[in-house]
Amino acid sequence: MCQLSKNNPMPFRRIIPLVILLMCSYRGSAQDSDAEAVKSVVRQLFEGMKRGDSALVKAVFHQTAVLQSVATSKTGEIKVHTMPAQDFITAVGKPHTDVWDERIEFGQVLVDGPMASVWTPYKFYLGEKFSHCGVNSFQLYKSADGWKVLYLVDTRRKENCP
């Protein structure tokens, strides 16, 4: 058994790194579970879009969420289009001929307490026909009801799509 004395500081030298390791692993696992919850919210948005289910889509957004798209016009001018999330939710729920299929990959998911940022490169298809590609950038916050999208901005292009 180790004796605690002024002349034998070894137990503290061994315990402190262990305590730090345990604290870091707990924080890492909490961040991992939050990152998975954030990914689940993003997946729900695109699943709702694909199904044409406005209720599923509406559930992921904060009531004041804003959506923006950054794209280059035919004349080469970079334009920003802004719409309230509710307009997008309404459009998803309206009957449309083709399935809106946005196929995403998760680039980065960053979580800091009640805030998260997500980067998702995507390819968008109308039914089986490729339409465009780009990147989505989400900003979310952790509400009492779970993670909600506050802001979504995307780029859109038809060329240089992977």
Looking at residue 21, which CATH number applies to its domain? 3.10.450.50
Classified as helix, coil or strand, 23 is: helix
90 falls within a domain: yes
Domain of residue 149: give its range.
10-156
Domains identified in the chain, total number: 1
pLDDT at 25: 44
Please indicate, yes or no, if residue 62 is contained in any of the structural domains.
Answer: yes
Instruction: Using a pLDDT cut of 90, give the percent of the chain over it.
Output: 77
Q: Name 94's Cβ contacts closer than 8 Å, sequence gap at least 6.
A: none
The reported pTM is 0.78
What does the mean pLDDT of the chain come to? Answer: 88
**What's the confidence (pLDDT) of residue 26?**
46
